[in-house]
Amino acid sequence: MRQITFSEGEYYHLYNRGVDKRKIFMSAAEYKRFQNYLLLMNDVERMRVTDLLRSHEAKPREKSDGGNPLVAIGAYCLMPNHFHLYVTPLAKDGISKFMQRVQTAYTMYFNEKHERSGALLQGTFKAEHVAHDTYAKYLFSYIHLNPAKLVDPEWKEFGARDFKKVREYVRKYPYSSFAEYLEKRHAITDPSKFPEYFSTQRDVDDHIDQWLETKDSRGLALREI
């Protein structure tokens, strides 16, 4: 994969998976720990990763705490063996610093919990530049529809066989940013730093539904990991 130079004011799709496609989230607590790190690690202030391992549960910082974030997150989704982030850098080397912190902290936490050692994730992380609006809207759907394959593995080839079931599952999936958009309660995400494609809940719903209703959604394949 070509090397990407991250620039402020530009947008990027970041993703990574477990080594040998192994599961990196084994319980609800582990998903929540990673979500907390997306908040805790997103600050220009230097912090020691080891400090976050002293308590059983990392406590997320509230938005009101302010801070100086390294990146803004426009969307995310955590899956059993991989994750996706849609981000824009807000500080010099913001993406690299943020991803190094999050991945290091989570690997340390996971290895300690499961009494293992060595790499958990496949390399540093992968990145794609989001260069135009069409791709950005597509990426928003791609990220938030990842959980659909957990209940309907072939939905991209044949469309959602049980539309209501898949739609409800995606809406209620607790480890993505979809609920933040539906409820307009943004904790991990900060849509103010991204173009406003979807101004209402109806806009978000309609955009996602269009893909679920498509009889052949292989266009959402992007880079399957």
CA angle at 139 for the pair 59 and 194, rounded to the nearest 5°: 65
Q: Residue 161: left (phi > 0), alpha (psi -120 to 50), or beta?
A: alpha
Per the structure block, which two tokens stand in for 32?
A: 């929540």
Determine the Cα angle at 76 with ends 73 and 77, to 5°: 165
The vertex-45 CA angle with 42 and 46, nearest 5°, equals: 100
Q: What's this model's pTM, rounded to 2 decimal places?
A: 0.88
Task: Provide DSSP, 134-201.
Answer: HHHHHHHHHHHTTTHHHH-TTHHHH--TTHHHHHHHHHH-TTBSHHHHHHT--SS--GGGS-----SH
Domain ranges of the chain: 11-128, 132-221
Residue 184 sits at the vertex; the CA angle it makes with 180 and 187, to the nearest 5 degrees, is 50
Mean pLDDT of the chain: 86
Q: What is the pLDDT of residue 52?
A: 58
pLDDT tens digit sequence for 165-213 = 999 999 999 999 999 998 889 999 999 999 887 767 788 888 888 877 7
What topology is assigned to 11-128 in CATH?
A: Alpha-Beta Plaits (3.30.70)
Given a cut of 50, whether residue 4 has pLDDT beyond it is yes
| % of the chain exceeding 90 in pLDDT | 63
Lowest mean pLDDT, pick from 31-40, 52-61, 185-194 = 52-61
Greater confidence (45 vs 216) lies with 45
Question: What pLDDT, on the 0 to 100 scale, is given for residue 63?
Answer: 47
Q: What confidence score (pLDDT) does residue 178 get?
A: 93
Give the model's pLDDT for residue 61: 47
DSSP β-bridge partners for residue 20: none
